[in-house]
Chains A and B, each alone.
Chain A
Amino acid sequence: MLCGSGLSLWMTAAAMSRSLPKTIALKVVESESKPAEDAFYGHILPPAAYRFHLSIGLSEPELLLNTGSTFAYGTYLHNWAGTDRSWVQAFHQPLLVLEGVPLAKLIQLDPSLSLQDTLISAQAAVGGVFAHPPEDHKHPLSRAEYGYAFDPKELTALYKAVSLTRSIQLIEARIDHVERNSTDITSVTLSDGQRLSADLFIDCSGSSAILLSPSKIEAKGSSTMQALISRITDTPVGKAAQTIKSGDYGWQSEITLRSGARRMTVFHEDSRQIAAAAHGTDPDASITLSLGCRENAWAGNCVAIGQAACVVEPLTTAPMKLLLRDIQRLMDLFPVSTDMRIEAREYNRVFQDDVCHAEIFNQAHFVMTTLPNGPYWQAASAQKQTSKLTRKLTQYESRGHLVAYDNEPFDDVDWAILHDGMGRQPRRRDPLASLAEPAKVAARLEQRQKSIQSVLSKMPPHSIYVSKFLSYLHRKHSQNG
């Protein structure tokens, strides 16, 4: 039985309805939607969503035809934290190795060089152009990866439609009471008086975690975050990237869809007034969420998915990556019997790792010598740095070494881009990187940048590409009836 609403509910339902055998009966109890909370998953689907969509039988044309989604090469952080640092946290294939040395280390040899200049997805995002990466691996654009900018409400509707093409019992009701024994949930009582039981309960109820929450599992609350959210209808499609600007209040993200822009301003409660001014338009919704995660996301016969298990700030794609991973993990560990202790143990082990690794990526955005004075930034800088992040930062700052842990949601490309974007400079050159002949390296990098610029000059603006691609899809769709 799946309970809850919104993105996490229908993404999970779509995956389960597609992957599990028909002998497993699925019940979905959909409560009143809280679409504003879903904004805390962010507005960018990372490239991993492509695979998820394939697994639920959803093609890219179907996604684009049924939602106002556009393409995204990543997130453009503009003058992050009041500094002069701007960069695209781009989606990109593994970085090249030139002259036997990883590109990220070569870049560190010369402070005037930027990794951004060598990333075609970052350059395309800044230039406002887009094209699908070709299959020809020699083509510079084949190194780019992309995700989608989306509206949570539109996407939820699509996932719901996908789910309901298969046999699911849908009940629209609120959960009034959860009955339990010492370890498990035995049944739930709904607002319409029905009492339902199940072998496994999936909690997709958002941060309230109505199924999991009372089971003596406390969220590791760290801070409370406020957000204002607006839909701005008459904004044309812009860059293939989310833009994030920061101010003393916190930060503001904006993406453009075919149905206009979505703006979110994230701030500390004490800065509401200046945040509202920065938001610049009347908000459609105002939300408050406590950040933090539960010690265990699977307890007894209940699994919490998405925000029911963990609420992470949507500064990066961390919340959406975690949601996708929650669902994949659940599918991989779907119980084989009513004794779920082994599944729960493995699920929680990987869940804890994933959350930790996603959180340190977010946290690394705030490790700076000076941060703006506002309470948002002070709260962020007051977070205790985990040993895993300390190890990553120590190694990078010492010699540009990228430490990696098992199966991180953000890989070494993401970390290299982040460090470079934030202007972190290793204190010393890597001895092996220093062996590369400077002239050869410079020539290779120049050649690479030229080939990127050559490709970019032939790519259409994102808005035109989207428009033409949609026209093509509509034509094809109508031809196929």
Chain B
Amino acid sequence: MTAAALAYKFHRTKTSITLVESEQIGTVGVGEATLPHIRFFNQALGIDEVTFMRATNATFKLGIEFCDWGQIGDRYVHPFGDFGEPLQGVDFHHLWNQLRQLGLKTPLDEYSYPIVAAKSARFHHPDPDLSKIESTFGYAYQFDSSLYAKFLRTFAEKHGVTRIEGKIVEVDQNAETGHVETLRLESGQTIGGELFIDCSGFRGLLIEQSLKTGYQDWSEWLPCNRAVAVQSENVGTLLPYTRSTARTAGWQWRIPLQHRTGNGHVYCSHFISDDEARSQLLDGIEGALTTDPKQLYFMTGRRNQFWKKNVVAIGLSAGFLEPLESTSIHFIQEGITALLELFPDTAFATSDQEEYNERMGLNFERVRDFLLLHYVATERDDSEMWRHFRNLTLPESLQSKIEAWMHRGLVPSYEFSVFLPPSWIAVFMGQRKLPLAGDPRMGRIPLDDIRQYAENLHSSIRNSVDRAPDHLTFIQGTGSSSKTVPESL
């Protein structure tokens, strides 16, 4: 992604970009599900959606279904969109909660267009007319990340990137400044550069092994440290959403692509053995396996500095938070966006690095709080892991958010955060954390008006979704199916 983005920006300039990639070193492949922001990344590079979808076996994604998180048997969807619209300045979740207390049985999910569409396995692009209910959602993709990497590699090379196949065996730094100067490959070739982007994954070949940046271990809050991943055949309807199912010592993902389903189990090795984790994963898979299970190891957290001297770490080399909310690819995108905004000259101004590090640090911290919310906003206490979270001392930033929500259904708003209030509302409400009080301004709105508003919204969503095409038909109808059209750029 980084090579493609830089290539696109600099391809008509004197700046030359070299990509050193080793086939010997596999990719992790976690993060096949994305957030809606990925569309803007592709658009910024001029990538056509249909071409991209064919090349990566992509499906559309309207949100994530969370199963067994609040309590075993529970299901809710975190959608890419709002729940209803405010009425006379009062957010819809307050209105719904009041109606619920008065006997309403319709779940909150049914007042969200993307959730109803997702559960009905239907999809269409958002209507550009913002007054229509069909405009009230965003969407992302679920795709084969290794195919996306290949797609972008070709894109990058077409835009002037020189790709060198090889394994880096030595990194030479300037004795005085500590800047990285050359990379020596196994073949003996040396490659010099002015700016080095470290996309080497968890090990952080340049940022950590050479520059010794240091790592902030966040296992205290996000203790899951392993994953086992496997692919399976598709079974049943092609769903436009990712599924995350809570387990006794972690959670399991299910990501439907056009040609297969990605599955994995993220878990904490303190609470379950690798064998048990693998067994739990395999027991929960519907289709026949198409690959052998692959074991992954990680430590949640982030580098102390994402940018140090003339090295910028992007992706897993910068840090890792479990992909519970599909943020892995998003962090790559954030890193690229920040790098382009702060792209250095050869003087490497300290202020560029400081700004980049400040910005990325805030990103990581705010996502960490949102992920942790899933583990602590729950009634589950049926295993050692869930009891561990019950007794956890939370970061103050999260603790105060939970208290504000429980007290009065308030989500303190921050402008710079991937996850805005509707996301927090989805998790709180979906995991049985219903506020004790609502917005007092609701008292001005006649109850009949609230009922009528909710009914109208509900039927409007239902009627509209019923007219929408099903997910697979839409993919095929737009020519995005990898099965009907050969891969091309």
* A and B interact: yes
Contact check, A401 vs B355: say whether CB atoms are below 8 A apart: yes
Contact check, B443 vs A23: say whether CB atoms are below 8 A apart: yes
The contact of B443 among A20, A332, A406, by CB within 8 Å, is A20
The contact of B352 among A19, A336, A349, A398, by CB within 8 Å, is A398
Contact check, B9 vs A21: say whether CB atoms are below 8 A apart: no
**B489 CB within 8 Å of chain A:** no
> In the bound complex, how far is the Cα of B408 from the Cα of A342, in angstroms?
9
> In the bound complex, how far is the Cα of B413 from the Cα of A333, in angstroms?
12
Q: Which of A161-210 contact B (CB under 8 A)?
A: none
Q: Given that A342-B407, A346-B400, A435-B13 are contacting pairs, would A399 and B352 also be in contact in the complex, using a CB cutoff of 8 Å? A: yes
Q: Which of A328-383 contact B (CB under 8 A)?
A: 331-337, 342-343, 345-346, 349-350
Q: Which of B393-421 contact A (CB under 8 A)?
A: 400, 403-404, 407-408, 410, 412-416
Contact check, B345 vs A401: say whether CB atoms are below 8 A apart: no
Contact check, B349 vs A399: say whether CB atoms are below 8 A apart: yes
Task: List chain B residues, Cβ under 8 A from A432.
Answer: 9, 340-341, 343
Shortest Cβ gap from A207 to chain B (Å) = 29
A25-62 interface mask toward B, CB cutoff 8 Å, 1 = contact, 0 = none?
00000000000000000000000000000010000000
Task: List chain B residues, Cβ under 8 A from A399.
Answer: 342, 349, 351-352
Contact check, B441 vs A404: say whether CB atoms are below 8 A apart: no
**B444 CB within 8 Å of chain A:** yes
**B12 CB within 8 Å of chain A:** yes
A398-421 interface mask toward B, CB cutoff 8 Å, 1 = contact, 0 = none?
110101111100000000000000
**B486 CB within 8 Å of chain A:** no
**A394 CB within 8 Å of chain B:** yes
B341-361 interface mask toward A, CB cutoff 8 Å, 1 = contact, 0 = none?
111110101011001001000
Q: Given that A401-B342, A432-B343 are contacting pairs, would A406 and B416 also be in contact in the complex, using a CB cutoff of 8 Å? A: yes
**B10 CB within 8 Å of chain A:** yes
Q: Given that A342-B403, A346-B400, A406-B414 are contacting pairs, would A431 and B345 also be in contact in the complex, using a CB cutoff of 8 Å? A: yes
**A440 CB within 8 Å of chain B:** no
Q: Given that A342-B408, A399-B349, A401-B342 are contacting pairs, would A19 and B89 also be in contact in the complex, using a CB cutoff of 8 Å? A: yes
Contact check, B416 vs A395: say whether CB atoms are below 8 A apart: no
Task: List chain A residues, Cβ under 8 A from B410.
Answer: 332-333, 346
Contact check, A21 vs B443: say whether CB atoms are below 8 A apart: yes
Q: Which of A432-463 contact B (CB under 8 A)?
A: 432, 435
**B438 CB within 8 Å of chain A:** yes
Contact check, A336 vs B438: say whether CB atoms are below 8 A apart: yes
Shortest Cβ gap from A50 to chain B (Å) = 15
The contact of A21 among B349, B403, B441, by CB within 8 Å, is B441
> In the bound complex, how far is the Cα of B409 from the Cα of A333, in angstroms?
11
**B477 CB within 8 Å of chain A:** no
**A428 CB within 8 Å of chain B:** yes
**A277 CB within 8 Å of chain B:** no
The interface size bin for chain A is: 35 or more
Task: List chain A residues, Cβ under 8 A from B441.
Answer: 19-21, 331, 334
Contact check, A404 vs B416: say whether CB atoms are below 8 A apart: yes
> In the bound complex, how far is the Cα of B439 from the Cα of A335, in angstroms?
9
Contact check, A345 vs B400: say whether CB atoms are below 8 A apart: yes
Contact check, B440 vs A24: say whether CB atoms are below 8 A apart: yes
Contact check, A21 vs B351: say whether CB atoms are below 8 A apart: no
Shortest Cβ gap from B159 to chain A (Å) = 13
Contact check, B408 vs A336: say whether CB atoms are below 8 A apart: yes
> In the bound complex, how far is the Cα of B438 from the Cα of A454, in angstroms?
52
> In the bound complex, how far is the Cα of B408 from the Cα of A403, in angstroms?
33
Q: Which of A98-132 contact B (CB under 8 A)?
A: none
Task: List chain A residues, Cβ under 8 A from B403.
Answer: 342
Task: List chain A residues, Cβ under 8 A from B407.
Answer: 336, 342-343
CB closest chain-B residue, reference A428: B345
CB closest chain-A residue, reference B437: A336
CB closest chain-B residue, reference A105: B341
> In the bound complex, how far is the Cα of B411 from the Cα of A342, in angstroms?
12
> In the bound complex, how far is the Cα of B404 from the Cα of A342, in angstroms?
6
Contact check, A19 vs B340: say whether CB atoms are below 8 A apart: no
Task: List chain B residues, Cβ under 8 A from A398.
Answer: 349, 351-352
The contact of B444 among A21, A391, A403, A428, by CB within 8 Å, is A21
Task: List chain B residues, Cβ under 8 A from A333.
Answer: 410
Task: List chain B residues, Cβ under 8 A from A395.
Answer: 351, 355
CB closest chain-B residue, reference A407: B415
Contact check, B437 vs A19: say whether CB atoms are below 8 A apart: no
Task: List chain B residues, Cβ under 8 A from A435.
Answer: 9-10, 12-13
> In the bound complex, how far is the Cα of B352 from the Cα of A432, in angstroms?
14
> In the bound complex, how far is the Cα of B349 from the Cα of A395, in angstroms?
10
> In the bound complex, how far is the Cα of B349 from the Cα of A479, in angstroms?
66
Q: Which of A56-73 contact B (CB under 8 A)?
A: none
Task: List chain A residues, Cβ under 8 A from B412.
Answer: 346, 349-350
CB closest chain-A residue, reference B435: A336
> In the bound complex, how far is the Cα of B403 from the Cα of A21, in angstroms?
25
Task: List chain B residues, Cβ under 8 A from A407.
Answer: 413-415
> In the bound complex, how far is the Cα of B440 from the Cα of A331, in angstroms?
9
> In the bound complex, how far is the Cα of B340 from the Cα of A332, in angstroms?
37
Contact check, A346 vs B404: say whether CB atoms are below 8 A apart: yes
B12-23 interface mask toward A, CB cutoff 8 Å, 1 = contact, 0 = none?
110000000000
> In the bound complex, how far is the Cα of B351 from the Cα of A395, in angstroms?
7
> In the bound complex, how far is the Cα of B444 from the Cα of A20, in angstroms?
6
Contact check, B437 vs A337: say whether CB atoms are below 8 A apart: yes
> In the bound complex, how far is the Cα of B25 from the Cα of A163, in angstroms?
70
Q: Given that A346-B410, A395-B355 are contacting pairs, would A334 and B440 also be in contact in the complex, using a CB cutoff of 8 Å? A: yes
Interface centre among A22, A345, A399, A430 (most CB of B within 10 A): A399
Task: List chain A residues, Cβ under 8 A from B347.
Answer: 428
Task: List chain B residues, Cβ under 8 A from A343.
Answer: 407-408
Contact check, A431 vs B89: say whether CB atoms are below 8 A apart: no
> In the bound complex, how far is the Cα of B349 from the Cα of A399, in angstroms?
10
> In the bound complex, how far is the Cα of B358 from the Cα of A405, in angstroms?
11
> In the bound complex, how far is the Cα of B89 from the Cα of A55, in angstroms?
9
Task: List chain A residues, Cβ under 8 A from B345.
Answer: 428, 431
B82-104 interface mask toward A, CB cutoff 8 Å, 1 = contact, 0 = none?
00000001000000000000000
Q: Given that A19-B444, A342-B403, A342-B404 are contacting pairs, would A394 and B413 also be in contact in the complex, using a CB cutoff of 8 Å? A: no
> In the bound complex, how far is the Cα of B351 from the Cα of A394, in angstroms?
7
Q: Which of A246-266 contact B (CB under 8 A)?
A: none
> In the bound complex, how far is the Cα of B7 from the Cα of A435, in angstroms?
13
Shortest Cβ gap from B131 to chain A (Å) = 14
Task: List chain A residues, Cβ under 8 A from B443.
Answer: 20-24
> In the bound complex, how far is the Cα of B276 from the Cα of A423, in angstroms?
66
Residues of A within 8 A of B (CB): 19-24, 55, 331-337, 342-343, 345-346, 349-350, 391, 394-395, 398-399, 401, 403-407, 428, 430-432, 435
Known: A336-B407, A406-B414. 10 other contacts (CB 8 A): A19-B441, A22-B443, A23-B443, A24-B440, A332-B410, A342-B407, A391-B355, A401-B341, A404-B415, A435-B12
**30 contacts across the A-B interface (CB closer than 8 A):** A20-B440, A20-B441, A21-B441, A21-B442, A24-B440, A24-B443, A332-B410, A333-B410, A334-B440, A335-B440, A336-B438, A336-B440, A343-B407, A345-B400, A391-B358, A398-B349, A399-B352, A401-B342, A404-B416, A405-B416, A406-B416, A407-B415, A428-B345, A428-B347, A428-B349, A430-B343, A431-B345, A432-B341, A435-B9, A435-B10
The 5 closest A-B CB pairs, nearest first, are: A21-B443, A336-B437, A406-B415, A398-B351, A342-B407
